[in-house]
Amino acid sequence: MKSSFHKSFLVCIFLALLILPTALAPTAITAQTESNGISLTVRPGFDGIVKRGKWLPVWMVIENNGVSVEGELRIQIGDSGNVWKTDVSLPNQSRKQFTVPIFSPGFGRSIIVTFVDESGEDLVKYSSGPLSEVDPVDTLLFAVVSPEPTGLDVLSRVWGSRTDSTVAYMSIDEIPINVSALEAVDVLIFTDIDTNVLSAEQRATIDSWVKQGGQLVLTGGASWQKTTAAFQDVLPVEVIGTESIDQLASFESSIGLDFRDPGPYVIARSTLKSGDLIWRDEALPILARRPEGAGNVWFLALDPQFAPLDDWDGSVIMWEAFAEYAPQDLFWERGFDDENAAVEAVSTIPSVQLPSIFLVLGFMLLYVLIVGPLNYLVLSRMKRRELAWISLPLTILLFSAIALIIGLQFRGNQVLINQLSVVSGRVDQPTLKTETAIGIFSPRRADYNVTIRNDANIRVLSQFAFGGLSDEFEVTRDNDQISLENLVIDVGDVESFSSSTYQAVSPILAQAVLQPGGDKIDLKVTNVGDQPLKNILLLVGGSRQVQLNDIAPGDTLSRELSLPTLAQENIANQLAGQPDQFRAQGSANASDTYQESPLENGFSTLVEGTEPGTYYETYGVAENYQRYSLLNSLYQTYNNQVVYTPVGKLVFIGWDDSQQLDIAIDDGRFENQGASLYFIEIPIEN
């Protein structure tokens, strides 16, 4: 009996272990739900994969086979009050498609999508279940656009310089038209798919994404024409046609592993047009690369879903060529890592400051003297001390009125929009990544409707909030405009938000030329903006920090710079077509409780523009403290992490007083102010 019980117990444990992974796995990522003649299909993220701290697209198709209805699609993160909305008009027999970017929901969160009619009734509802979250630093994300949703699972074994990878399969409709929503993807692969159906907006998004560092892979084989249709102008090769080849002995030998399947193999025959050949078979290009901005466009002459690449162990080695070129996230590109510091930055408004401590003490001393001794002496001399019951209330009312006037002078009577932007990218890119912390200061308690007239994404910035999702807010998106409605701000309070977009332009033109010895460069930087560039720091080779003079609009600065030894080697490799290397800083060791920011040595330059002064001289100045807080928001010194800076590039870091977003308040009584912090990569030329 006892033995039977043990056997039954072991069987139960075995079955539980089998069932547990299924129970813990996310529910179906793509799902359709139907009610009232309305059907809703939702596919969140990249095949349900979410990169922590990144924006993700939520792709939705809604169809109406019933009566006409007006309403809105509401996307909610779990049970929070954070909602992204878009208006929808559904005539009878209609079908509409939407892709709405939302901020990463955080570990274990789900996406809930509801279609609500004008009366507020939920007509149809979808819940994704918990999404699969991955680390943005450690995990390489491959997005495969293909009719076959399992053909490239081999990519999960291709890590590049990361420690893990994951593969997401997408339909071509799911490619977003918002660059921020695509930036979580490291490598985007089109194979055996007609890219000619991509919209102009999708093509522009992919082009911008590549120039920001994305790796775009187009495959050949028998379907090369339809796969490359939308990208003929950026292909590294000129494709002549297809050819059936019995063997690819040279390519097979260079990989070092025999093909599993014998020939013949269908290959797209081509000649190199622009860029580099990575793999070839004799004179036949197998894999070619064309640099585009900070990224690359690749052409693979074979179809990876067919022989000889299908189920071939050598495919991992071949795919590593793509992965090695995927850049690491630089720490200034990751948004506001320390949201508390970002809130502190936008809450520090130079024009709205507390009065000086000496003014407060002087006011209090004068009040005490008048209410006490002076009042007594005057009434005693008048021999009318009984009038104190009149003089004291009048004096109190007078000083209260004076205090109110002084307070209004310091607080102001106008709504202030404080926007502090971190702008990053390469000097030769048409648009730059723009992360903006927004603080809205209200001198009185009121409801506001806030409009941002940019193709931006917006989320709340919350202090002491896991994932920044504690405060409730609703965002309505309408074409290139987003709005926050009925935003309640208390008297003298600041509401804080964060915006992500790709729309800023570089304020500089720059050229860095390597001298013949390879150890120095000649640098020229011209300010092509309309604002002075101030507090400038040049990051050389990922480690050396050099202070530069301020540059007025239209002026040019020239400088000869020495290169660190590691930078010299890496620059030589880059000029030879090798991928860039990155300098790792910080520690993932939990025992290391404090880590300096990678820019710690240059903080005095970036905050003050001068040598460091006393604590009060530096941080007692509102503008300096604002800069200091914004710099701290990019890197959490008390968060175990490893961050990266590029070894083979120069990075121009500096400030100007420009505002990147067009933000308005509905009643028109507001003032926009702020500043921009630039991180502009300058490629080095021969």
Q: pLDDT tens across 148-182, in order? A: 877 799 999 999 888 899 999 999 999 998 899 99
Residue 20 pLDDT greater than 50, yes or no: no
Q: Which amino acid is located at 229 in the chain?
A: A
47-51, 173-177, 298-302: segment of lowest average pLDDT:
47-51
Give residue 603's pLDDT: 83
Q: Are 36 and 160 members of one domain? A: no
Q: How far apart, in Å, are the Cα atoms of 574 and each of 58, 325, 487, 585?
A: 37, 11, 50, 21
554 and 618 together in one domain: yes
Residue 71 lies in a domain: yes
- Per residue in 302-356, pLDDT (tens digit) is 999 999 998 898 999 999 988 999 988 888 988 898 888 999 999 888 766 555 6
Looking at the fold, whether 507 and 553 belong to one and the same domain comes out as yes
Rg (CA), the chain: 30
Q: Is residue 348 part of a domain?
A: yes
- Asked if the peptide bond before residue 308 counts as cis, ω within 30 degrees of 0, the response is yes
Look at residue 243 and tell me if it is in a domain. Answer: yes
- Predicted structure pTM score: 0.84
CA distance 155 to 174: 20
If one counts the domains in the chain, the total is 4
56 pLDDT tier (thresholds 50, 70, 90): confident
- pLDDT of residue 5 exceeding 60: no
**What pLDDT score was predicted for residue 140?**
94
> Is 161 in the same domain as 78?
no
**What does the pLDDT average to over 525-551?**
92
What is the identity of the amino acid at 445? Answer: R
Q: What letter does residue 354 receive in the DSSP assignment?
A: P
Average pLDDT, the chain: 83
Q: Which residue has 């009577």 as its token pair?
A: 413
pLDDT above 50: residue 381: yes
CA gap 502, 236 in Å, rounded: 26
Inter-axis angle of helices 388-411 and 357-369, nearest 10: 170
Which of residues 383, 411, 439 is at a domain's end?
411
Position 4 scores a pLDDT of 45
Residue 91 lies in a domain: yes
The residues, any chain, with a CB within 8 Å of residue 570's CB and separated by 6 or more, are 541, 580, 581, 647, 648
Among the ranges given (55-59, 218-222, 663-667), the one the predictor scored with the smallest mean pLDDT: 663-667
- 372 vs 660 pLDDT, higher one: 660
What's the CA gap between 326 and 214, in Å, rounded?
Answer: 7
Same domain, 269 and 127: no
443 and 530 assigned to the same domain: yes
pLDDT at 25: 36
Per-residue confidence at 131, pLDDT binned at 50, 70, 90? confident
**545: helix, strand or coil:** strand
- Answer yes or no: do 528 and 586 share one domain: yes
The answer to whether position 596 is within a domain reads: yes
Domain C-terminal end among 94, 116, 134: 134
Answer yes or no: do 497 and 511 share one domain.
Answer: yes
- Buried b / exposed e over 468-484, threshold 16 CB at 10 Å, is bbebebbbbbeeeebbb
The Cα diameter of the chain in Å comes to 121
Q: pLDDT value at position 79?
A: 67
CATH assignment of the domain containing 110: 2.60.40.10
Rounded to whole angstroms, the Cα distance separating 288 from 280 reads 9
Out of 387, 411, 435, pick the residue that ends a domain: 411
Comparison of pLDDT for 396 and 309, the residue scoring more: 309
Same domain, yes or no: 451 and 590: yes
How, if at all, do strands 556-562 and 520-527 pair? antiparallel
Q: Are residues 313 and 344 in the same domain?
A: no
> Is there a domain that residue 323 lies in?
yes
| Residues 647, 551 share a domain | yes
Residue 393 covered by a domain: yes
Backbone angles phi and psi of 53, in degrees to 5: 80, 10
Task: Report pLDDT for 619.
Answer: 66
Domain that holds residue 85: 26-134
Q: Band the pLDDT of 413: cuts 50, 70, 90.
A: low
Mean pLDDT comparison of 127-131, 251-255, 480-484, 524-528, highest-scoring range: 524-528
Rounded CA-CA distance 623/345 in Å is 9
Measure the CA–CA gap between 671 and 414, rounded to whole angstroms.
7
Query: How many percent of the chain have pLDDT more than 90?
Result: 40
Please enumerate, as own/partner, the contacts of 491-495 that have beta carbons within 8 Å and a separation of 24 or more. 491/442, 491/443, 491/444, 491/445, 492/411, 492/441, 492/442, 492/443, 493/441, 493/442, 494/343, 494/346, 494/347, 494/349, 494/418, 494/439, 494/440, 494/441, 494/442, 495/439, 495/440, 495/442
Question: What pLDDT sits at residue 615?
Answer: 55
Mark whether 230 and 338 lie in a shared domain. Answer: no
In the predicted model, is pLDDT for residue 197 greater than 90? yes
Contacts of 653 (CB under 8 A, 6+ apart): 536, 537, 538, 539, 599, 602, 606, 677, 678, 679, 680
User: What tens digit of pLDDT does each residue of 426-455 get?
Assistant: 998 888 999 999 999 888 888 888 889 877
Greater confidence (214 vs 590) lies with 214
